[in-house]
């Protein structure tokens, strides 16, 4: 049986899906047809219901809960891992400043809307181009995610706000960034089988951290081992193994803030 799977090329995704993709674990007769894409592209595909299983931002998930359920493993939640608003040191920001975001359906953009609603002059670009947009002064500031957390200071840029820190101070919960969703119309036994395979893939990755290095580097934007390791250590944690009660509570709270019903969203 073939299942379509969408993931990003970022190190946390390639790390946790390596064992599943390369059959280092038992995939129980399922062949995964893998589609790599930037998170905003995955978000848009999820909203249109394109793939059977997909990584997506929780902001995008709030828009497609009629089509998808959230799997218990594979999510990116945590503390100290939220998106950062950055700028040039000399730039003075106002409510009219032009802000580049990594996609309007990303959780990063949603958090900026919730926590700093005065910044409304926004446009989107792929996450890996945001630092460049600021340096070229196409944008006054930018919202960064993924590897850029570890590279922006080396390019002479400075942090304005850590949106994850603001979320944690206000809500006393980990910040829910993204998760793995599965189509509701798949048979329940198949949904549970895929959830089990993903759990085993995450566990294998954590127990065998060197096994996926070549695969990760073949897709990463930044190739330095220190950046890749820092990325994985930040975004892959206990919530990636299982959301547990606290992780589910954080997701429900985010949905509450945007007025979306969070009943029956978890497999």
Please give the structure tokens belonging to residue 143: 């919202």
In a domain, 263, yes or no: no
Q: Look at residue 267 and tell me if it is in a domain.
A: no
pLDDT in tens, 150-177: 889 999 999 999 999 999 999 999 999 9
Six token digits for residue 3? 């299942």
Quick check: 153 and 230 in contact, CB under 8 A? no
- The pLDDT tens digits for 85-131 are 999 999 999 999 999 999 999 999 999 999 999 999 999 999 889 99
Say which DSSP state 208 is in: -
pLDDT tens track for 175-223: 999 999 999 999 999 999 999 999 999 999 999 999 999 999 999 877 7
- Looking at the structure, do residues 97 and 61 belong to the same domain, yes or no? no
Which of 116, 140, 171 delimits the end of a domain?
171
Residue 264 lies inside a defined structural domain of this protein:
no
The least confident of 34-38, 79-83, 239-243 is: 79-83
22, 35, 146, 219: the active-site residue: 146
pLDDT digits (tens, 9 = 90+) for 27-37: 999 999 999 99
Angle formed at CA 46 by CA 171 and CA 176, multiple of 5 degrees: 15
Domain boundary among 171, 188, 209: 171
146 part of the active site: yes
Q: Is the pLDDT of residue 261 over 80?
A: yes
User: In this prediction, what percent of the chain has a pLDDT beyond 90?
Assistant: 90
Q: Assess whether 52 and 116 both reside in one domain.
A: no
* Digit-coded pLDDT (tens) for 56-76: 999 999 999 999 999 999 999
CB 98 within 8 A of CB 121: yes
Query: Exposed (0-12), middle (13-18) or buried (19+): which is 223, by Cβ within 10 Å?
Result: exposed
Please tell me whether residues 199 and 216 are part of one structural domain: yes
pLDDT of 244 above 90: yes
Is the residue at 127 inside a domain?
yes
Q: Which domain holds residue 142?
A: 84-171
Residue 120 within a domain: yes
Domains of the chain: total: 2
């Amino acid at each position: 049986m073939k299942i379509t799977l969408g993931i990003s090329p970022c190190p946390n995704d390639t790390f946790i899906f390596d064992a599943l993709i390369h059959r280092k674990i038992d995939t129980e007769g399922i062949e995964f047809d893998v589609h790599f894409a930037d998170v905003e592209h995955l978000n848009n595909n999820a909203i249109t219901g394109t793939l059977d299983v997909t990584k997506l931002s929780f902001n995008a998930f709030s828009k497609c809960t009629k089509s998808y359920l959230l799997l218990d493993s594979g999510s990116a939640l945590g503390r100290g891992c939220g998106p950062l608003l950055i700028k040039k040191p000399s730039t003075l920001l106002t409510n009219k400043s032009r802000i580049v975001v990594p996609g309007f359906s990303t959780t990063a953009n949603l958090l900026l809307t919730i926590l700093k609603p005065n910044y409304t002059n926004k446009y989107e670009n792929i996450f890996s181009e945001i630092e460049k947009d600021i340096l070229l002064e196409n944008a006054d500031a930018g919202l960064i995610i993924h590897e850029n957390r570890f590279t922006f200071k080396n390019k002479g840029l400075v942090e304005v706000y850590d949106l994850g820190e603001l979320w944690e101070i206000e809500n006393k919960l980990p910040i829910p960034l993204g998760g793995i969703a599965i189509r509701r119309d798949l048979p329940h036994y198949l949904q549970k089988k895929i959830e089990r395979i993903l759990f085993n893939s995450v566990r294998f990755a954590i127990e065998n951290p060197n096994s996926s290095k070549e695969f990760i580097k073949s897709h990463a934007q930044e190739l330095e081992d220190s950046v890749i390791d820092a990325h994985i250590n930040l975004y892959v944690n206990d919530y990636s193994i299982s959301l547990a009660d606290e992780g589910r509570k954080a997701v429900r709270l985010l949905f509450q803030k945007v007025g979306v019903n969070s009943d029956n969203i978890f497999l």
